[in-house]
């Protein structure tokens, strides 16, 4: 029996994870949490609504923590798993982006493994299995381009949250769906890939693959590439992380090749500046990625509440980065302070 602590159980990833756990005889839910909505179907002593998740984790002794909390709020759980040598099935990319080196240090001390749940990173993880660093030339992250792919800036001045929430290929929570529309999600994923696979930014490429069938690719030094294909369905990477290395069966239909379109195109970083901003931020390092993430969370929340225009999201994030000094955090307290300070950025 593998004991799973599911954090963010009421969300998009959380609900799909419950389906995977229920269908697998060797997986058992030992803890579940949500930010605000009540949890049912699991004994009250194993659940928590809001508050400090590390107490729940201490009590429930999981074999794997599936961190499906949205945003920086997931940081404590990520560090807890890495520090305690517990497998971390990581959907909460924001925590790894913000913590960066601190997370890797916790991992070196505690020995916790990171099993990526983000579909692109699960794909890369699988393509990289059994290879050495010297064999790898570069990573290629794919993205759908979101609902506004192909538009120019003038066509984005008046877009509403409703327009931005209509993602063409994935059904996800609201924050990541807006991030997909601005390409901030691909930017966060670029930084996530850098920390997960220890590959420098100039060897991580981003390419759009609008049907979201190719989940990412690895280029090897001999000229060969490996790609990971599948329908856009998060149950696959969730199941892979929770049952690793078993690769349990899922209820998905087999991929139908005759109906596939696999065209690729370059992202438009002028219309969608968040991707280039994230790359610059990652390269500067220190706590700049933490600031990028915090300001983005604030800007996305303001956009969803109708207080900020879509095109102003990158402006808010750019302002926050310009105000920050980016010096590395020595510990979690430092990082929490950097996150707090970045959130003080004024939005309309």
Residue 31: what are its φ and ψ, rounded to 5°? -160, 150
Contact between 126 and ligand NAD (CB under 6 A)?
Answer: no
CA distance 13 to 99: 21
Which residues, including other chains, have CB under 8 Å from residue 342's CB and lie 6 or more apart?
Answer: 290, 291, 294, 295, 298, 320, 324
CA distance 178 to 272: 12
87's contact among ligand NAD, Mg ion, none, with CB below 5 to 8 A by partner kind, is none
Q: Pick from 68, 290, 301, 86: which is nearest to 179 by CA? A: 301
CB of 152 vs ligand NAD, minimal distance in Å = 27
CA distance 166 to 157: 17
Contact between 233 and Mg ion (CB under 5 A)?
Answer: no
Site size toward ligand NAD, by CB under 6 A: 26
CA distance 290 to 296: 10
CA distance 154 to 149: 13
Contact between 11 and ligand NAD (CB under 6 A)?
Answer: yes
Sheet strand arrangement including 47-49: 47-49, 27-34, 2-7, 64-67, 87-90, 114-116
Contact between 339 and Mg ion (CB under 5 A)?
Answer: no
Return the residues of window 73-102 that contact ligand NAD according to CB under 6 A.
Answer: 73, 91-94
CB of 121 vs Mg ion, minimal distance in Å = 7
Contact between 176 and ligand NAD (CB under 6 A)?
Answer: yes
Contact between 289 and ligand NAD (CB under 6 A)?
Answer: no
Contact 5, 62 (CB under 8 A): yes
Taking contact as CB under 5 A, which single stretch among the options 58-66, 115-123, 191-199, 210-218 is the one that binds Mg ion? 115-123
CB of 348 vs ligand NAD, minimal distance in Å = 23
69's contact among Mg ion, ligand NAD, none, with CB below 5 to 8 A by partner kind, is ligand NAD
Interface with Mg ion (CB under 5 A), residue from 83, 87, 94, 118: 118
Contact between 347 and ligand NAD (CB under 6 A)?
Answer: no
Contact between 234 and ligand NAD (CB under 6 A)?
Answer: yes
CA distance 171 to 158: 23
What is the CB neighbour count within 10 angstroms for residue 129? 9
* Helix/strand/coil percentages in the chain, nearest 5: 45, 15, 35
Contact between 10 and ligand NAD (CB under 6 A)?
Answer: yes
CA distance 165 to 40: 28
Residue 141: what are its φ and ψ, rounded to 5°? -85, 130
Identity of the residue, 175 or 228, whose beta carbon is nearer to ligand NAD in the bound complex: 175
Stretch 40-79: interaction string toward ligand NAD, x if CB under 6 A: ----------------------------xxx--x------
Taking contact as CB under 6 A, which single stretch among the options 35-43, 134-142, 209-217, 223-231 is the one that binds ligand NAD? 35-43
Identity of the residue, 136 or 294, whose beta carbon is nearer to ligand NAD in the bound complex: 294
Positions that interact with Mg ion (CB under 5 A): 118-120
Positions that interact with ligand NAD (CB under 6 A): 8-14, 34-37, 68-70, 73, 91-94, 118, 170, 172-173, 175-176, 234
């Amino acid at each position: 029996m593998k004991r799973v602590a599911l954090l963010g159980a009421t969300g998009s990833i959380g609900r799909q994870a419950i389906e995977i756990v229920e269908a697998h005889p060797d997986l058992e839910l030992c803890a579940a949490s949500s930010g605000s909505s009540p949890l049912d179907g699991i004994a009250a002593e194993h659940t928590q609504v809001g508050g400090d998740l590390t107490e729940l984790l201490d009590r429930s002794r999981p074999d794997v923590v599936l961190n499906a909390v949205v945003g920086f709020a997931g940081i404590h759980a990520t560090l807890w798993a890495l520090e305690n040598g517990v497998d971390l099935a990581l959907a909460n990319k924001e925590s790894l982006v913000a913590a960066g080196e601190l997370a890797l240090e916790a991992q070196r001390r505690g020995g916790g493994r990171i099993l990526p749940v983000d579909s692109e990173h699960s794909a890369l993880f699988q393509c990289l299995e059994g290879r050495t660093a010297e064999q790898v030339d570069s990573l290629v992250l794919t993205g759908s381009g979101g609902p506004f792919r192909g538009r120019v800036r003038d066509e984005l001045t008046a877009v509403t949250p409703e327009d931005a929430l209509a993602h063409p290929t994935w059904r996800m929570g609201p924050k990541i769906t807006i991030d997909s529309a601005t390409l901030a999600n691909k930017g966060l994923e670029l930084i996530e890939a850098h920390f997960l696979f220890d590959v420098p930014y100039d060897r991580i490429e981003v390419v759009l693959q609008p049907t979201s069938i190719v989940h990412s690719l690895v280029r090897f030094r001999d000229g060969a590439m490996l790609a990971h294909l599948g329908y856009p369905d998060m149950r696959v990477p969730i199941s892979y992380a929770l049952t690793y290395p078993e690769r349990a069966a899922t209820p998905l239909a087999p991929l139908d090749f005759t109906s596939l379109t696999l065209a690729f195109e370059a992202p438009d970083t002028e219309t969608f500046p968040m991707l280039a901003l994230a790359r610059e931020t990652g390269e500067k390092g220190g706590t700049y990625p933490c600031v990028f993430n915090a300001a983005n969370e604030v800007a996305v929340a303001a956009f969803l509440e109708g207080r900020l225009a879509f095109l102003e999201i990158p402006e808010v994030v750019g302002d926050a980065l310009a105000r920050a000094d980016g010096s590395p955090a020595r510990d979690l307290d430092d990082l929490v302070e950097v996150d707090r300070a970045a959130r003080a950025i004024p939005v309309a």
